[in-house]
Amino acid sequence: MKKKHYLLMAIIGVAFVAMASLSGFSQEDIAYVRDSAFGLRDRGPVAFVHDEHNEKAEIEDCNACHHVYEDGKLLEDETSEGMECSECHMTGGKTRMDLMRNYHLQCKGCHEDLGKGPVMCGECHK
């Protein structure tokens, strides 16, 4: 009887460790690409592990994604981090379709240029 008890405890312990390792990343590590301008969509927001993605893609400059332009020129020392893309990309009569096009050009365009990363809808939108 004691052997079965120890075996059961060992199985529970192994299961606990296995489940803990599956989580892998904390919620804070995951970045969600979404914008309130879209409301409810057919496809969900894009979720990815921000730092791991940037390390694999060798992205060191936050402006590669979180860019700020003024009069058509990139402001090197400015970042749009923490802002929704629609705050800039839906000004001056631009529409949600323009915003969606910009999102896809930013992410998918980079993936295509580098020949790495997902480019099909369901590969990003889960």
pLDDT of 37-90, one tens digit each?
888 777 888 999 999 999 999 999 999 999 999 999 999 999 999 999 999 988
Res 13 pLDDT > 60: no
Q: Measure the CA angle with vertex 23, ends 18 and 25; round to 5°.
A: 135
Provide CB contacts within 8 A for 26, sequence distance 6+.
none
- Virtual CA dihedral for 57, 58, 62, 65, nearest 10 degrees? -30
What is the span of the domain harbouring residue 51? 26-124
81 is a domain residue: yes
Percent of the chain with pLDDT over 90: 54
Confirm whether 89 is domain-assigned.
Answer: yes
CA 78, 98, 115, 56 torsion: positive or negative?
A: positive
Domains contained in the chain, number:
1
pTM of structure: 0.66
